[in-house]
Amino acid sequence: MTKAAELAKMGEVLTNSQIGGRRNIVINCAMQVAQRATSATGVGSGFAYPTLDRYKIVPSTSGRATMTQTADGPSGFANCLKLECTTADTSIAATEYFILRQSFEGQDLQSLKKGTSDAEKVTVSFYVKGNASATYTCELDDADNTRHNSQEFSVTTNWTRVILTFVGDTTGAFDDDNARSLNLDFWLHAGSNFTGGTHTDNVWHTTDNQRVGDSQSSFFDSTDRTFFITGIQMEVGSQATPFEHRSFGEELALCQRYFQQWTQEASGFSTNNYAAVGDAVMHGSTLPFMQYVHPTVLRATPAITFNGNFAANISGSDYAISSLLINTSTPYVTSFYGTTGAAGAGNAGYMRAANDGDASIFFNSEL
């Protein structure tokens, strides 16, 4: 083999036959973006995205944790996701679980060729550590076809890169749409409904009690327990390539497909009185009508919520907004009403944060 052929072969191996382009399917893989918050307590009381974008907590447990974006990581990583047990749960009921999850749209997974005779292998890699040795389970969970493939992995007190290659699945294709088709799950706590069967690593199956590894630890076995993870990469093929770093701007835009927020800082103004969300026109005497153009196209029509104090400034006077209601919405633009006191039909003005630097509006289009 010539030297040129050797180099070409080496390039093919290192990039899983995908020269150039983006390999990593995971979003916010280096834990850079935390639009909602950098820290949250009481994690485990319900399904939620507490802090870092695209990382959902899926719980059924009396255990509780604090979740943070933490300035820690192996060489080359400034941040990680940290979970710290604050309330233990040592009496594990059969139905219990605690999962750290990222979900993916079916239209972004077609390269896996799932459900075909030439289904591709998938390699998941990540950096992980804890306060003590532990064993947890990483799972590919096919939400379209209710099929699962999981493998155990070990945690030590030092940062370690875990590499897990999953066999291709010739059964059950992913839907080609913008709905949830696959979950990448990290099982940190599980009851016998998920651990009671005989687990075999790296086999696609449909049996719930074989989803979690036989040596599974419980994150909630002690309030000393911690779990750190960063550098998550999921790519087509049997090789784990070097971690694919992306710019913060690109990562933020990828996250904003699923969640966006308006804040005073985002408005570009530092004075509360001038932190305008947008123009408003009164529809009736108590409903200021507004439009918000999304900086990135959302995955689907969003839900809208807000916190803090907002007002509609109509003809120079402020009218406190008590609720926000969607009028019409698309992934591009959301039109909504605020409920206020009487301000006069047809009058114009703008909506602003009412002397509240922490006021926010949330547009949620998560899977």
307: which residues sit within 8 A by CB, 6+ positions away? 358, 359, 360
Around Cβ 88, how many Cβ atoms within 10 Å?
A: 17
Q: Which residue in 135, 133, 126 sits closest to 153, CA to CA?
A: 135
pTM of the complete model = 0.92
**Helix/strand/coil for 55:** coil
Amino acid at 282: M
pLDDT category at 274 given cuts 50, 70, 90 is: low
The C-alpha atoms of residue 92 and residue 190 are separated, in whole angstroms, by 7
Higher pLDDT, 66 or 327: 66
H or E element at residue 266: helix 264-267
Q: Which of 7-11, 45-49, 284-288 has the lowest mean pLDDT?
A: 7-11
Q: pLDDT (tens digit, 9 = 90+) per residue, 234-265?
A: 999 999 999 999 999 999 999 999 999 998 76
The C-alpha atoms of residue 122 and residue 166 are separated, in whole angstroms, by 5
CA separation, residue 322 to residues 125, 350, 353 (Å): 46, 15, 13
Q: In this predicted structure, what is the pLDDT of residue 343?
A: 76
Contact criterion met (CB below 8 Å) for 244 and 23: yes
Q: Say yes or no to pLDDT of 132 above 70.
A: yes
